[in-house]
Structure 1
Amino acid sequence: MHDVLIAGAGPVGLLLACELGLAGCDVLVLEQDERSTPWKTMPLGMRGLSASSAEVFHRRGLLKELLIASGVEKYGNQDEDEDEDQDTAQAPRSVSHFAGMMLDAAAIDTTALPYRLPGPVLEGLMTSLEAVETVLTEQAAKVGVHIRRGAKVSDLRQGTEGVTVRAGDHEHEGRWLVGCDGGRSTVRGLGGFEFTGTEPQFTGYTMLATVADPDKLQPGFSLTPTGMYLQMPTPGHIGIIDYDGGAYDRGLPPTVQHLQSVLRHVSGTDVTLEDVLLVSTFTDRAKQTTSYQRGRVLLAGDAAHIHSPLGAQGLNTGIADAMNLGWKLAATVHGHAPDGLLGTYTRERHPVGAQILDWTRAQSAVMRPGPHSQALQALVADLLRTRDGTTYVYNRTSGSSQRYDLGSTHPLVGRNVPDLHFTDGTHLGDHMHEGQGIAVDFTPGRKLAGALAGREDRIRYVAGSARNEVGCGALLVRPDGVVAWADGPDPDADGFARAAAGWFGSAHI
């Protein structure tokens, strides 16, 4: 019996498998597709990773490999050795959009980002599904994860001690099963999860086509009185949003004639499509499971929540799901999880998923054709031209504003930990490659070392001064990079010990 079965070898499933493998779990990934498809390679497979998602790869020592796989020649707005006199990081060079309205990176108020420090990760990056999966597949092999391709999950039976899954002609047993099998998740259905939300207002199309007269279409995002279209830099790579109430039958492949008609309607031009090489459809249907766990079956990524791709939040939300779940499930497998630890996965991630659904719903409402939405567009555009408006949207899309309620009033607790730069030249992320929790002790005399006895395999002790200690004397950082405990210049060792026990269990299991 495997410790964990994972359905789906996309970025979310692979990242979760890597986290579990890194923690010493026996993991089998079941993937229905045999090989990569054009939808994963550039340009159709292009995806944007937020700064928080890029930091995940930095913390596991995979950022360089991801940049190479993504063809990124220069990353960030400064070199690592150019930040010696900086205490706060510069604003990113590029940011996202809201409802097709691009943000001005130069308008971000960097003083409103108090825990953003100079370091290897300065901003998000453009990559592809193929690049992300290539890097994670290689990492999975290094940590002993087994991947079986061409194995579509068709049935599951759940018992008190584990789950039996049928995939192809074989049955597999695992103590736990995690569905990372996308928006049309088989595991979600077979597991009996309740899936609720809102129905679509539009049908979206993404295509790679031969356009006879591409100059008739504006580059980038174009909001129109009848919808929105997007012309990417790659010739013929076009996106369309048609507010048809989701009426198009997505079970049928769109014809060239249909796509041309929709594009002409939305763009207000007589543009001509000569041929369509590839096309897919999507909607703004926004739904979420009421819980991310039922017994020994859990969900992550699109299997747990679906929404429109507006704002590029889907992949980033799934990455955060995997990071949150990975160490908690591993601790449960190994028997040293405190009571209720696995339940915090739903408690922490479900509200984030709900916020993302509302974020995409708001964009859909702003873009909807009609005088009321057009008035709203003008208002939002004015707000986005302000420093506060741009900074707010950047915080939401980059993950910088995310904070879990962990019951502490300390402003750092529940947040993504800053990438501290220690005086020995290392960054905090350099100490997180093995997937352990981190105890950071800035105080002389190593006050916290004694509280770690018996937990050295779960918490790595890092002592020393940092160039910016963000007003703290000590920090306890979870494996997913979230600050679990923080204290001032004279940290309370007993408080640290209680926090360590609360998140990492008894010292002598």
Structure 2
Amino acid sequence: MTAGTEGAANAETVVVVGAGPTGLMLACELALAGARPVVLERLPEHSGQAPGMAINSTVVELLDQRGLMDPLRDESLEWPQAHFAHLFLEPTELSEPHEYTHVLPQAHLERWLEERAGALGARVLRGHEVVGLAQDADGVTVRVRSGGTERDLRCAYLVGCDGARSAVRQLAGIEFPGTDEPFYGIVGDLATELTDEVIGHIGAHQCPAGVYTVSPFGPGGVRIATGEFDAAPPDPDAPVTVDELRESVRRLTGADPVPGAPIWLARWHNATRQADRYREGRVFVAGDAAHVHFPLGGQAMSTGIEDAVNLGWKLAAAVGGWAAPDLLDTYHAERHPVGERACLTTRAQVALMHPMSRVAPLRDVFSELLRFPDVNDYLVRMAGGLDVRYRMAGQPSGDDAHALLGRRLPAVPLNTADGPSSTAQVLRTGRGVLLDFTGRNGLDERLDGWAGRVDVVRAEPEPRIGACALLLRPDGRVAWAAGDRVERAEQAGLGNALRAWFGAPARAGAPA
């Protein structure tokens, strides 16, 4: 493939393929960090419909870190519950404060992220389909079809966020192994008033042959999903009809379905697949292009958004010329195990849901186990994505590692030298942050070479954090931590962390 008129002369920094939540969040992250990404979307316009309905605790906190959550709270419903295979948990009993899952229609989130991405300088080009790619040592040439014509677009990096049938993943030669189980799933929105009859349907219902869920998405409608295990639709490629949805409800429940006029109907599936690698040279995959699994508790959409927040600042660092040599490799190293874990835990939940004739006794025993605080805590963290911990380069591991290393901080108010703030607000810039609770100025001198990459925030000691100083990556992960005081060994660890995550200092001789 050769570059056309939009080749090297008009090269883009990063091209993101797919304007779903993952692709748009990635565009926001890149643009915030100074890159100017282009998002290519195959569909000519925003449809206003999408299957996702929830974001978990971790993603609520990630959006809050960027100042994106507050405008969405009026459009979402805080849901202080979580579940494992529709066995309900108690997030309110966690030992430290965290956000709860929010019911938030995917279409609403996409509109807001697209608006934010545009305001930051990203471009979204709809009606653009990727049909080919070629990469070399300097970049990627993408063949794009739009309006009946094809052209080449040159970029430094290409990211496929284009769903389970990702063209980018296939064109890059990345394998997508896994399984597709027999399943007859329908999801859709109905326009209906929330009468007592309709409210009686709301909730997640476990049926002998599958699952039936109903949730409101506003004052005038409900989202309905039916899922029949070990079954298949008569014609998987045929458009879904409202009669087909109603018959599925009757088969599952034996009762009449929710009345209402269909707004949107689609099919969903029970597939579990994961890309064997998340990077091929200058091409990356994220979201459903990297992993698909049974959708439960918002894990699918949430895992993809977290992929975007992990990758965005790293790609921006590479575009900016200051990334450490192996920084981009840490995307696969950190996110592939998380995707693998999501596939495992959702399959475990499906195993507790069908066939009900066999698993009902196991569900009863499992319900008894959930009464133990440690079991509840473990599963709430897993469902909310709060249990993810990365290995931090240049830092102790195992028993010698600080408890916060690799984790994200809970939402804690801070009293900083510039006034009231919080652990979320200090990350609004998208840069790294050195949180200094020591009351001394010595740590500042060690960051001279990383100005513009790492901000210094001095704050009064906060006992709930359990450290006197912390280095946060732009995604909020703790890259370095000192306990009661900053000893010589901790100072060396800070230098290691700065080089690993923020590259070499900008000028020779800078303290490290």
Partner SS for 1:97: strand
Could you list the per-position Cα deviations for residues 453-501 of structure 1 after superposition, in whole angstroms to 9, with x for gaps in the alignment? 1211100011221433522121110000000111112213232122111
CA distance in 2, matches of 1:274, 1:56: 36
1:96-111 equivalence runs, <5 A: 96-106=82-92, 108=93, 110-111=94-95
Q: TM-score, normalised by structure 1?
A: 0.87
Show the counterpart of 1:506.
504
Instruction: State the AA in 2 paired with 1:414.
Output: G
Report if aligned partners of 2:202, 2:214 keep a CA contact under 8 Å in 1: yes
Report if aligned partners of 2:33, 2:313 keep a CA contact under 8 Å in 1: yes
What is the total number of aligned residue pairs between the two structures? 476
Instruction: State the AA in 2 paired with 1:239.
Output: A
1:224 counterpart = 2:207: yes
Q: Residues 222 and 161 of structure 1: is their aligned pair in 2 closer, same or farther, counting only changes over 3 Å? A: same
Q: Residues 245 and 293 of structure 1: is their aligned pair in 2 closer, same or farther, counting only changes over 3 Å? A: farther
Partner SS for 2:383: helix
Indicate which of 135, 138, 146 corresponds to 2:115. Answer: 138
Partner SS for 2:379: helix
Instruction: State the AA in 1 paired with 2:36.
Output: D
CA distance in 1, matches of 2:360, 2:430: 48
1:495 counterpart = 2:493: yes
Moved more, 49-58 or 272-281: 272-281
Could you list the per-position Cα deviations for residues 386-426 of structure 1 after superposition, in whole angstroms to 9, with x for gaps in the alignment? 43333222111222211112253211001012334222321
Q: Residues 382 and 142 of structure 1: is their aligned pair in 2 closer, same or farther, counting only changes over 3 Å? A: same
CA distance in 1, matches of 2:482, 2:76: 41
Moved more, 196-205 or 247-256: 247-256
Per the TM alignment, residue 271 of structure 1 is displaced from its structure 2 partner at its CA by: 5.2
CA distance in 2, matches of 1:228, 1:136: 31
Show the counterpart of 2:47.
37
Show the counterpart of 1:250.
236
Identity of aligned residues (%): 35
Could you list the per-position Cα deviations for residues 61-109 of structure 1 after superposition, in whole angstroms to 9, with x for gaps in the alignment? 22222224x266xx6xxxxxxxxxxxxxxxxx61222222333445x2x
Alignment RMSD: 2.5
CA distance in 2, matches of 1:197, 1:176: 27
CA distance in 2, matches of 1:260, 1:137: 34
Show the counterpart of 2:6.
none
Report if aligned partners of 1:413, 1:484 keep a CA contact under 8 Å in 2: yes
CA distance in 2, matches of 1:265, 1:433: 49
Q: Residues 245 and 160 of structure 1: is their aligned pair in 2 closer, same or farther, counting only changes over 3 Å? A: farther
Show the counterpart of 2:72.
66
Show the counterpart of 2:174.
193
Report if aligned partners of 1:200, 1:245 keep a CA contact under 8 Å in 2: no
Q: Residues 215 and 101 of structure 1: is their aligned pair in 2 closer, same or farther, counting only changes over 3 Å? A: same
Q: Residues 2 and 103 of structure 1: is their aligned pair in 2 closer, same or farther, counting only changes over 3 Å? A: same
1:214-293 equivalence runs, <5 A: 218-233=201-216, 237-246=223-232, 249-269=235-255, 276-293=262-279
Per the TM alignment, residue 448 of structure 1 is displaced from its structure 2 partner at its CA by: 1.2
Q: Residues 274 and 474 of structure 1: is their aligned pair in 2 closer, same or farther, counting only changes over 3 Å? A: closer
CA distance in 2, matches of 1:181, 1:274: 32
Partner SS for 2:187: strand
Q: Residues 395 and 274 of structure 1: is their aligned pair in 2 closer, same or farther, counting only changes over 3 Å? A: closer
Show the counterpart of 1:152.
129
1:312-391 equivalence runs, <5 A: 312-391=298-377
Report if aligned partners of 1:443, 1:489 keep a CA contact under 8 Å in 2: no
Q: Residues 434 and 236 of structure 1: is their aligned pair in 2 closer, same or farther, counting only changes over 3 Å? A: closer
Instruction: State the AA in 1 paired with 2:496.
Output: R
The unaligned stretches of length 5 or more in structure 2 are: 1-10, 508-512
Show the counterpart of 1:122.
99
1:463 counterpart = 2:458: yes
Moved more, 348-357 or 383-392: 383-392
Could you list the per-position Cα deviations for residues 271-328 of structure 1 after superposition, in whole angstroms to 9, with x for gaps in the alignment? 5978655321111210000110011110011110011112210111011100110111
Moved more, 232-241 or 269-278: 269-278
Partner SS for 1:405: coil
CA distance in 1, matches of 2:229, 2:464: 50
1:415 counterpart = 2:407: yes
Show the counterpart of 2:16.
6
Show the counterpart of 2:383.
397
Show the counterpart of 2:291.
305
Report if aligned partners of 2:76, 2:103 keep a CA contact under 8 Å in 1: no
Could you list the per-position Cα deviations for residues 91-147 of structure 1 after superposition, in whole angstroms to 9, with x for gaps in the alignment? xx61222222333445x2x33x4xx4xxxx732322222332232222212221121
Q: Residues 501 and 245 of structure 1: is their aligned pair in 2 closer, same or farther, counting only changes over 3 Å? A: same
Moved more, 430-439 or 159-168: 159-168
Q: Residues 99 and 165 of structure 1: is their aligned pair in 2 closer, same or farther, counting only changes over 3 Å? A: same
CA distance in 2, matches of 1:34, 1:483: 40
Report if aligned partners of 2:76, 2:102 keep a CA contact under 8 Å in 1: no
Show the counterpart of 1:475.
470
1:442-457 equivalence runs, <5 A: 442-457=437-452
Q: Residues 340 and 249 of structure 1: is their aligned pair in 2 closer, same or farther, counting only changes over 3 Å? A: farther
Indicate which of 55, 60, 67 corresponds to 1:54. Answer: 60
Report if aligned partners of 1:441, 1:447 keep a CA contact under 8 Å in 2: no
CA distance in 1, matches of 2:198, 2:430: 50
The unaligned stretches of length 5 or more in structure 1 are: 76-92
Instruction: State the AA in 2 paired with 1:478.
Output: R
Per the TM alignment, residue 353 of structure 1 is displaced from its structure 2 partner at its CA by: 0.3
Q: TM-score, normalised by structure 2?
A: 0.86
Report if aligned partners of 2:433, 2:472 keep a CA contact under 8 Å in 1: yes
Show the counterpart of 1:79.
none
Report if aligned partners of 1:447, 1:493 keep a CA contact under 8 Å in 2: no
Moved more, 403-412 or 474-483: 403-412
Report if aligned partners of 1:217, 1:267 keep a CA contact under 8 Å in 2: no
Q: Residues 233 and 319 of structure 1: is their aligned pair in 2 closer, same or farther, counting only changes over 3 Å? A: closer
Report if aligned partners of 1:204, 1:239 keep a CA contact under 8 Å in 2: yes
Indicate which of 25, 44, 66 corresponds to 1:15. Answer: 25
Per the TM alignment, residue 225 of structure 1 is displaced from its structure 2 partner at its CA by: 1.7
CA distance in 1, matches of 2:110, 2:263: 24
Report if aligned partners of 1:4, 1:178 keep a CA contact under 8 Å in 2: yes
Partner SS for 2:352: helix
